[in-house]
Amino acid sequence: MTGKIWFVGAGPGDPDLMTVKARKLLEQSGAVLFAGSLVDQAATLYAPDGCEIRDSKDMTLDEMTDWLIAQARQHQTVVRLQTGDPGLYGALIEMTQPLTAAGIEWAVVPGVSSAMASMAAAGETLTLPEVTQTVILTRVAGRTPMPPGEDLESLAAHKTTLCIYLSITLLHKVQAALLAAGWSEDSPILVVQKASWPGEEKIIRGTIRDIKQKCQAEKVGSQAMIVASPTLGAADWPDLIRSKLYDPAFTHRFRKASALTEPDSAEKNAEHNAAHPLENPIA
């Protein structure tokens, strides 16, 4: 009989942001392999006494897989604790293929991604009605190349919210790609380092023009999320396009529309863009 291996999302860093299921699995685990270079060790404190705990930061992929298989032959519950969500830049399939081949049962528990944690920390929103309804999670090509058609300039041309992972050391490339895609130098940029990490989180606001200098001044060079979005700073806008779901003129199955009507949304949006050109990514 072999145990089951759980790929658990530890979330962005704060142990309290792990799901209830994630915590329960840690509490009953016989072995935990955690990403020590990214996951705060506090996340392993939920493991019981006697649990075999191993930091994977010095291990190769094959070494991690071998370790997990060996532990699954000794324990009923084995946890691979990963930063954020296991399915996003987490080498999930590379690790699960050998497990399947070895007849080891495995499953995934999702986690809060740093994109969501970063926007929450900054009090920002990923989407706004009639501003953008699309979020792109991506990265800049480094040692890992991007597939054809997924270079940042091409994605930035959509003018939607961009959550850019694993790219803080390539911030100059981010700036160049956004400008090449038609974004203004004055477009807002948000950088959050170690989102949700108690006592270590840094929130840096700037524009495409000055964000690199601001990050250098704050010594932010790792574990940071970059967000470019036309929604940034919306909390300070004098006018917002309201969600149709809560519009008094909107009927849905729980509420009938009232006689009250709102000004035309497109007209309000055009007026806002004219009054606040720097809050929009297009010059």
User: In the chain, what are the domains?
Assistant: 4-109 (3.40.1010.10), 114-235 (3.30.950.10), 238-279 (no CATH)
Residue burial 179-203, b: 16+ Cβ < 10 Å; e: rest: bebebbeebbbbbbbbbbbeeebbe
**pLDDT tops 50 at residue 192:** yes
Average pLDDT, the chain: 90
Q: How many Å separate Cα 124 from the centre of its chain?
A: 13
In this predicted model, what pLDDT tens digit does every residue of 89-145 receive, in sequence order?
Answer: 999 999 999 999 999 999 999 999 999 999 999 999 999 999 999 999 999 998 889
C-alpha pair distances (Å), 37 with each of 46, 82, 207: 18, 10, 29
Going 73 to 63 to 84 to 99, the CA torsion angle's sign is negative
- pLDDT, average across residues 200-211: 97
Q: Which two tokens stand for residue 227?
A: 């967000």
This prediction's pTM = 0.85
- pLDDT, average across residues 4-16: 95
In the beta sheet, which residues pair with residue 129? none
d(CA 239, CA 236): 9
Helices and strands: H and E segment counts in the chain: 8, 10
Q: At 147, is the pLDDT very low, low, confident or very high (cuts 50, 70, 90)?
A: very high
**pLDDT tops 80 at residue 280:** no
